[in-house]
Amino acid sequence: MLKHNDNKIWTKPFIITTVVVVILGMISLFTGVYDIRGQADGMAMFFITRVPRTAALMLTGASMSMTGLVMQLITQNRLVEPTTTGTIEWSGLGLILVYLLVPSPTLMLRMTGAIVFSFAGTMIFFLFLRRVRLRSSLIVPIIGMMLGAVVSSVSTFVGLTFQMTQNIESWYIGSFASVQVGRYEYLWLIIIIAAIIYIYADRLTLAGLGEEVATNLGVNYNRIIICGTGLISFAVGIVTAVIGNLPFLGLIVPNIVSMIRGDDLRTNLPWVGVLGMGTITLCDIIARTIIMPFEVPVSLILGTAGAVVFVVILLRQRRGR
Amino acid sequence: MAAENRTAKAFRSKKEQRRYWMLLVALVALGGFASYGLLVYNNPIPIESSSFLPVVRRRLFALVAMIIAVICQSLATVTFQSITNNRIITPSLLGFEALYSTINTTIIFFLGAQALVSFSGMTAFIIQVAAMVGMCLILYGWLLSGKYGNLQLMLLIGVIMGTGLKSLSSFMRRLLSPSEFDILQARMFGSVNNADSEYFPIAIPIVVVAALILFLYSKKLNVVSLGKDTAAALGVKYQNSVIFSLILVSILMSISTALVGSLTFYGFLVATLSYQAAPTYDHRYIFPMSLAIGFLVLTGAYFLMYHVFNAQGVVAVIIEMFGGITFLVVILRKGTL
């Protein structure tokens, strides 16, 4: 029915971008304090820490930016992503509650908590958006971030009462430092999510046109919204439980892609995925080298740089209007 | 009779007006009661002892810090909501806390611990507040002026800058040595019980003056709160009034942040309750009510938590949580944003 004749994916710019991202990945593999070529167990260390870390970076980067794209489609708002809707704070609350109920929870349990709560939180936000009439699209991220602040004040309260503030702190600062064999494998699930997003791309685009249009075009609107939210929460929940909070990635990457290429979800998706990988890998390389032999959490670099890019995007929009 | 109804009185009826005054008196009385309790209740030292007065003085300092915070937060939030014409927004969104911590972190980062230690006292306080106000003015003045001036854009950029600055200062803190980090940490930890009484002589006059100006400015605010077009039609220079009010708001917020740290939803809670308690458009009546409510909320919460529930650490968090929940309820009931 829908054809994409003129939208080839493997164009020359895309191939070049992919090559650049692969090179970044290689650099990431060979960045680190431990001398993998000089030491006897160098190769073993390489496969225990470096390879998982780079894989985790790629998976997380792709998933977080694709999540942002899906959220922007569903809400028809360019400024929405897990950080500006409170989704990340909700999954943090889920993590805290799991720590509270189970003394030393497994990664699986933590992930489940994070996924369930980010699903609930995102649904609440979407319901908000549907119930409330909006005067401006700029107000949506403001409300989302205030909602996030409410949720994180609840988390802080729980943390203070049960002496778990350390857990919140370490969660809130997302870092790839602890990624190694045995601690990141759940991230591979993200590939399945990416595939589903790709298959559902057209239907998600239709749902983004609003309930009436979508229903007229023969799409079950509510089911698509729930599926989309489910996908978002799975990705966010997994990343939250394994890595932590990664601000703004889902916002800047899709916006830059659509600024350059316009809006077509199916052909933009690979771009968003690849650029997301590249962005986070670059940030992580900076985070690891800037105070060698130590490292700073990548979320701080992302937060700083992401805020600048976000503001630039906003100001460009203002001029365009 | 008909003519009387048509005049723009602050209250719809005499009854509402009477109710307003009664509420105001009751709230102030309750707040005074709570603060009296905070000062003398459960003082472990007998009154004859020579250490009785120092204990009271310490508690008095905490109370003064609370009152400053009440004035700053209540007035700033009400004013801000009026100029943005939006009752679900608070000025704490503009990232004052992040700005404050960035300023302090930058000093220790570039000039070392020695500089931060010697950077204290009145001059330092004034410089900090001036820097915060200046930054806000440059940024928001620029965003609000010109053809594309847009209040919501300004807010959103404020929120994003807050997040970005938080990351930036936290990033710089990572690069500090542990001893520098300790000094900074001690500086950044603001709360009413930790407020530096050294700053009172400068903070109090500024706050009082700013508050007085706001009171005198109430009539303008009444018009500005009608929205851009109406205000302009009524002959008010909208943009100038907004920027002038923003200056006052940022002064009040900066002082409150520098003294007692951040309070995100407290101002929101107070403002929302004030609109309920004072059913009028007139800021000359909303301001006193917001002060009374803010006073009672803060002193009452501290008194209850300290002396009834014995939970010292969580007072601020509980106020924030209640404020946050109020925020959600208000949005859902309101239906428009």
Q: Which residue, chain included where needed, has tokens 């810090």? A: B65
Residue range B290-324, pLDDT digits in tens: 989 988 888 888 888 777 776 666 777 778 778 87
CA distance A169 to B174: 14
The answer to whether the CB atoms of A79 and B161 lie below 8 A apart is no
Nearest CA among B136, B137, B126, B95 for reference residue B264: B95
Give B60 to chain A, closest Cα distance, Å.
Answer: 27
CA distance B274 to B285: 10
Q: Which residues of B67-79 are buried (b: 16+ CB within 10 A; e: fewer)?
A: bbbbbbbbbbbbb
The whole-number pLDDT of residue A3 equals 46
Can you spell out the DSSP letters for B275-334?
HHHS-SS-HHHHHHHHHHHHHHHHHHHHHIIIIIS---TTHHHHHHHHHHHHHHHHHHHH
Give A19 to chain B, closest Cα distance, Å.
Answer: 30
The answer to whether the CB atoms of A142 and B168 lie below 8 A apart is no
Q: Does domain A54-166+182-320 have CATH number 1.10.3470.10?
A: yes
- Nearest-by-CA chain A residue for B311: A161
Is there a contact between B225 and B82 (Cβ–Cβ < 8 Å)?
A: yes
- Domain contains B143: yes
Q: What is the total count of domains within chain B? A: 1
Which of A117-121, B210-214, B277-281 shows the lowest mean pLDDT across its residues? B277-281
Percent of chain B with pLDDT over 70: 87
Residue A22 pairs with which residues in a beta bridge? Answer: none
CA distance A21 to A25: 6
- Nearest-by-CA chain A residue for B174: A296
| Stretch 141-170 of chain B: residues touching chain A, C-beta under 8 Å | 148, 150, 152-153, 155-157, 159-161, 163-168, 170
Q: Taking CB atoms and an 8 Å cut-off, how many pairs form between chains A and B?
A: 124
Over residues B278-294, the mean pLDDT reads 85
The whole-number pLDDT of residue B188 equals 66
The answer to whether the CB atoms of B153 and A319 lie below 8 A apart is no
- Nearest-by-CA chain A residue for B331: A132
Sequence-distant (6+) residues with CB within 8 A of A142 are B89, B93, B152, B155, B156, B159
pLDDT beyond 80 at B116: no
Give B280 to chain A, closest Cα distance, Å.
Answer: 24
The answer to whether the CB atoms of A301 and B171 lie below 8 A apart is yes
Amino acid, res. B209 = V
Of B148, B157, B165, the CB nearest to A319: B148
CA distance B66 to B60: 10
Q: What are φ and ψ of residue A133, in 5° steps?
A: -80, 140
The whole-number pLDDT of residue A1 equals 42
The answer to whether the CB atoms of A131 and B332 lie below 8 A apart is yes
The whole-number pLDDT of residue B208 equals 92
Put simply, whether B317 touches A (Cβ < 8 Å) is: yes
Is there a contact between A309 and A252 (Cβ–Cβ < 8 Å)?
A: yes
Is there a contact between B93 and B152 (Cβ–Cβ < 8 Å)?
A: no
Query: Which residue range is the domain that position B19 belongs to?
Result: 14-43+51-334
pLDDT beyond 50 at B122: yes
Q: Which residues of A29-43 are buried (b: 16+ CB within 10 A; e: fewer)?
A: eebbeeebeeeeeee
The whole-number pLDDT of residue B2 equals 42
The answer to whether the CB atoms of B164 and A145 lie below 8 A apart is no
Is there a contact between A231 and A175 (Cβ–Cβ < 8 Å)?
A: no
- Domain contains B5: no
Over residues B200-211, the mean pLDDT reads 88
Q: Which residues of B91-109 are buried (b: 16+ CB within 10 A; e: fewer)?
A: bbbbbbbbbbbbbbbebbb
CA distance A179 to A292: 18
The whole-number pLDDT of residue B43 equals 67
Is there a contact between A88 and A236 (Cβ–Cβ < 8 Å)?
A: yes
Q: Is B10 helix (H, G, I), strand (E, B) or coil?
A: coil
CA distance A79 to B154: 14
The whole-number pLDDT of residue B209 equals 92
Full pLDDT tens readout for chain A, 321 residues:
444 445 566 777 788 888 888 888 878 777 776 666 666 676 777 777 778 888 888 888 888 888 888 888 888 788 888 888 888 888 888 888 888 888 777 778 888 888 888 888 888 888 877 777 766 777 788 888 888 888 888 888 787 777 776 666 666 677 777 777 777 777 888 888 888 888 887 788 787 777 778 788 877 888 888 888 888 888 888 888 788 788 888 888 888 888 887 777 777 888 888 888 988 888 888 888 877 777 778 888 888 888 888 888 888 776 654
The answer to whether the CB atoms of B157 and A321 lie below 8 A apart is no
- Domain contains B137: yes
The whole-number pLDDT of residue A38 equals 67
Neighbours of A105 (CB within 10 A): 17
What Rg, from alpha-carbon coordinates, does chain A have?
20
Sequence-distant (6+) residues with CB within 8 A of B292 are B24, B27, B28, B31
CA distance A288 to A295: 5
Give the ipTM. 0.77
Give A184 to chain B, closest Cα distance, Å.
Answer: 25
- Output the domain CATH number for residue B169: 1.10.3470.10
The whole-number pLDDT of residue B3 equals 43
- Domain contains B1: no
Neighbours of A247 (CB within 10 A): 28
The whole-number pLDDT of residue B311 equals 66
The whole-number pLDDT of residue A8 equals 67
